[in-house]
Amino acid sequence: TDLYTHPDYYNLDDLFTEEHKLIREATRAWVKQNVSPIIEDYFERAAFPEHLVKQLGEIGAFGPYIPTEYGGPGLDQISYGIIMQELERCDSGLRSTSSVQSSLVMYPIYKYGDEAQRKKFLPKLASGEFLGCFGLTEPDHGSNPGGMTTNFKDMGDHYLLNGAKMWISNAPLADVAVVWAKNEEGRIHGLLVERGMEGFTAPEMKGKHSLRASITGELLFDNVKVPKENLLPNKSGLGAPLGCLDSARYGIAWGALGAAMDCYDQAVRYAKERTQFGVPIGAFQLTQKKLAEMITEITKAQLLTFRLGQMRNAGTATSAQISMAKRNNVEIALNIARETRQILGAMGITNEFSVMRHMANLESVVTYEGTHDIHLLITGMDVTGISAFTRTA
Q: Which does 373 bind (CB under 5 to 8 A by kind): ligand FAD, ligand TGC, none?
A: ligand FAD
Binding site for ligand FAD (CB under 6 A): 100, 133-137, 142-143, 167-169, 211, 216, 364, 367-368, 371, 373-374, 377, 389
Instruction: Give yes or no for residue 245 binding ligand TGC (CB under 6 A).
Output: yes
Task: Identify which range of 50-58, 111-119, 218-226, 364-372 contacts ligand TGC by CB under 6 A.
Answer: 364-372
Please give the span between the terminal C-alpha atoms of the chain, in angstroms, as a whole number.
59
The CB-of-177 to ligand TGC minimum distance in angstroms stands at 12
Residue 245's binding partner, choosing from ligand FAD, ligand TGC, none, with beta-carbon cut-off 5 to 8 A by kind? ligand TGC
Residue 83's SS3 state is: helix
369: annotated active-site residue? yes
With CB under 6 A as the contact rule, the residue among 46, 160, 242, 311 that binds ligand TGC is 242
Q: Note the residue count of the chain.
A: 393
Rule CB under 6 A: is residue 280 a binding residue for ligand TGC? Answer: no
Count of residues binding ligand TGC (CB under 6 A)? 26
Catalytic residue among 86, 297, 339, 369: 369
**Rounded distance, CA 51 to CA 32, Å?**
16
Within residues 123-142, the interface with ligand TGC by CB under 6 A covers 134, 136-137
- Near ligand TGC by CB under 6 A: residue from 201, 310, 319, 379: 319
SS3 81: helix
Contact segment (CB under 6 A) with ligand TGC among 178-186, 221-229, 331-339, 369-377 equals 369-377
Q: Are 302 and 316 in contact (CB under 8 A)?
A: no
Smallest distance, ligand FAD to C-beta of residue 311, A: 24
- Residue 192 φ then ψ, to 5°: -95, 105
Rounded-to-integer distance, Cα 255 and Cα 214, Å: 15
Of ligand TGC, ligand FAD, none, which one does residue 38 interact with (CB within 5 to 8 Å by kind)?
Answer: none
Is 210 or 287 the residue whose CB approaches ligand FAD more closely?
A: 210
Q: Reduced to 3 states, what is the DSSP secondary structure of residue 72?
A: coil
Residue 247 touching ligand TGC (CB under 6 A): no
Partner touching 367 among ligand FAD, ligand TGC, none, CB below 5 to 8 Å by kind: ligand FAD
Report the distance separating Cα 188 and Cα 6, nearest Å: 43
246 touches which of ligand TGC, ligand FAD, none (CB within 5 to 8 A by kind)? ligand TGC
The answer to whether residues 122 and 71 touch, using CB atoms and an 8 Å cutoff, is yes
Distance CA 97, CA 213 (A): 10
| Contacted by 135, from ligand TGC, ligand FAD, none: CB < 5 to 8 Å by type | ligand FAD
Q: What CA–CA distance (Å, rounded) separates 221 from 148? A: 14
166 contacts 137 by C-beta, under 8 angstroms: yes
Q: Which residues contact 345 (CB under 8 A, 6 or more apart)?
A: 274
Asked if 111 contacts 271 with a C-beta cutoff of 8 angstroms, the reply is no
Task: Return the closest-CA partner of residue 175 out of 67, 247, 100, 244.
Answer: 100
Q: Which residues, other chains included, contact 30 with Cβ-Cβ below 8 Å and sequence gap of 6+?
A: 55, 59
Among 77, 79, 85, 96, binds ligand TGC (CB under 6 A): 96
Binding residues among 38-67 for ligand TGC as defined by CB under 6 A: none
Q: Which of 34, 15, 43 is nearest to 350 (CA)?
A: 43
Crossing angle for the helix pair 319-343 and 285-314, nearest 10 degrees? 160
Selected binder of ligand TGC within 99, 117, 247, 321 (CB under 6 A): 99
Of 9-17, 47-55, 154-162, 233-241, which segment contacts ligand TGC by CB under 6 A? Answer: 233-241
Secondary structure of the chain: what % helix, strand, coil (to 5)? Answer: 55, 15, 30
243 binds, among ligand TGC, ligand FAD, none (CB under 5 to 8 A by kind): ligand TGC
The site for ligand TGC (CB under 6 A) is made up of 96, 99-100, 134, 136-137, 143-146, 169, 237-239, 242-243, 245-246, 248, 319, 368-370, 374, 378, 389
Residues marked as catalytic = 369
